[in-house]
């Protein structure tokens, strides 16, 4: 049986670098009921674009956590309408005709320990402006089921990028996924595992914005600094890194733990960035093992951090046991939006798109809330 679904995935990252939109055709060519067979899934990116945010929207998204209830609710509505207009223009430019739009929204609060997470960007506004049904709010059901609500990308890694030993994404935060085993009913069974490793661009971009730049191009600023050994040791000693089990990171943790720690050292911008890049490289390298036969593991590397040449060099220096594979630029830039489109396709098929082996939830679930565009 062949099943085709065309979907647009929309992704807004915590690093505030803008909106990614990816129009994808997914094809399942296998037996109904055996959707988990990764060899039967294929995809083709039909169009992809990114759009930067203007300074006013960046400021609102960056400060939403401290807004009044009214202003926060208004931003949720306005941002949803904005996303709907942007995706409609994207559809008109590219001729896209999706069956579904899957929107991540923009994370404002993420506190799974108290079963709480919010991603703003009204799905009703997206559906109304685009004229296409929209599924959004992918994380809240998993969090309600005592899961981390993150990461969500690993289900796409498992079914769409099965040729890699590890899939590593470096955006605002780094997260990794890989096949392993878990104990269930006294037996070891295959499972996909994944978790957030460390902040990346969220921190690097935070410091670059202090000097009027959005990011550290090619890692040039970091490459001119020296690593502060004491700060590096303090960063690596943070309890999060030694915690076991499913875990995820959010803005709140960075602002409470990372930023104050870095700022407690009287360092130049260059030294701050060099030290933090070394920290990221060490933490990532510690999570990747060589293959059982001793050969290097094959690691798919995607996300905006890929373009930080200095960071990637430090990562390779700290992980000789792996081979980092950087795919085509389109996959690097739009992998998260691609996989959110896939989450929307799974939603349409009434299939789980949140994996409890990854998030720690009570069981797999179908994440998302559907907003119908209606009939004109």
Confidence check: pLDDT of 249 > 80: yes
Q: How confident is the model at residue 34 (pLDDT cuts 50, 70, 90)?
A: low
- Prediction pTM value: 0.83
Q: How confident is the model at residue 186 (pLDDT cuts 50, 70, 90)?
A: confident
Averaged pLDDT for residues 213-226: 97
Q: How confident is the model at residue 189 (pLDDT cuts 50, 70, 90)?
A: confident
The DSSP code sequence of 225-277 is S---HHHHHHHHT-GGGG--SS----HHHIIIIIHHHHHTS---HHHHHHHHH
| Higher pLDDT among residues 50 and 40, named by residue | 50
Averaged pLDDT for residues 332-347: 94
Give the architecture (CATH level 2) of 162-330. Answer: 2-Layer Sandwich (3.30)
Phi and psi for 253 in degrees, rounded to 5? -65, -40
pLDDT of 1 reads 73
pLDDT tens digits for range 317-334: 999 999 999 999 999 989
pLDDT of 337 reads 95
Q: How confident is the model at residue 39 (pLDDT cuts 50, 70, 90)?
A: low
pLDDT tens digits for range 101-122: 999 999 999 999 999 999 999 9
The DSSP code sequence of 94-116 is HT---SEEEE--EEEEEEGGGTE
3-state DSSP assignment of residue 305 = helix
Q: How confident is the model at residue 191 (pLDDT cuts 50, 70, 90)?
A: confident
Alpha-carbon distances of 342 from 109, 125, 145, rounded to whole Å: 24, 21, 22
One fold for both 2-150+331-371 and 162-330?
yes
Rounded percentage of the chain residues whose pLDDT exceeds 90: 79
Domain locations in the chain as residue ranges? 2-150+331-371, 162-330
Confidence check: pLDDT of 375 > 80: no
Measured CA to CA, the distance from residue 74 to residue 68 in angstroms comes to 10
pLDDT tens digits for range 56-106: 999 999 999 999 999 999 999 999 999 999 999 999 999 999 999 999 999
CB 351 within 8 A of CB 367: no
| Homologous superfamily of domain range 2-150+331-371 | ATPase, nucleotide binding domain (3.30.420.40)
Confidence check: pLDDT of 38 > 60: no
């Amino acid at each position: 049986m062949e099943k085709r679904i065309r979907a647009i995935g929309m992704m807004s990252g915590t690093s505030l670098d803008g909106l990614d939109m990816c129009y994808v055709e997914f094809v399942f060519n296998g037996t109904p009921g055996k959707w988990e067979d990764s060899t039967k899934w294929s995809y083709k990116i039909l169009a992809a674009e990114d759009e930067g945010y203007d300074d006013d929207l960046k400021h609102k998204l960056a400060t939403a956590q401290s807004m009044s209830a009214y202003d926060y609710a208004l931003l949720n509505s306005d941002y949803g309408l904005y996303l709907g207009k942007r995706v409609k223009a994207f559809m008109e430019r590219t001729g896209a005709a999706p069956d579904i739009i899957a929107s991540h929204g923009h994370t404002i609060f993420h506190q799974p320990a108290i079963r709480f997470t919010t991603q703003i960007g009204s799905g009703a506004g997206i559906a109304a402006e685009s004229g296409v049904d929209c599924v959004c709010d992918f994380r809240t059901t998993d969090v309600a089921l005592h899961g981390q609500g993150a990461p969500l990308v690993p289900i796409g890694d498992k079914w769409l990028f099965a040729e890699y030993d590890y899939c590593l994404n470096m955006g605002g935060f780094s997260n990794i996924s890989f096949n392993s085993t878990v104990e269930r009913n006294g037996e070891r069974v295959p499972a996909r595992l994944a978790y957030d490793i460390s902040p990346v661009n969220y921190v690097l971009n935070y410091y670059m914005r202090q000097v009027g730049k959005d990011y550290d191009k090619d890692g040039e600023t970091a490459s001119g600094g020296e690593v502060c050994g004491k700060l590096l040791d303090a960063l690596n000693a943070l309890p999060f890194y030694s915690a076991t089990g499913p875990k995820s990171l959010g803005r709140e943790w960075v602002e409470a733990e990372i930023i104050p720690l870095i700022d407690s050292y009287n360092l130049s911008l260059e030294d701050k960035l060099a030290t933090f890049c070394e920290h990221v490289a060490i933490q990532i390298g510690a999570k990747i093992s060589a293959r059982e036969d001793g050969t290097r593991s094959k690691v798919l590397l995607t996300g905006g951090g890929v373009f930080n040449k200095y960071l990637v060099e430090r990562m390779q220096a700290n992980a000789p046991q792996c081979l980092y594979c950087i795919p085509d630029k389109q996959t690097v830039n739009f992998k998260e939006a691609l996989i959110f489109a896939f989450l929307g396709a799974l939603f349409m098929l009434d299939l789980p798109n949140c994996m409890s082996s990854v998030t720690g939830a009570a069981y797999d679930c179908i994440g998302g809330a559907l907003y119908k565009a209606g009939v004109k």
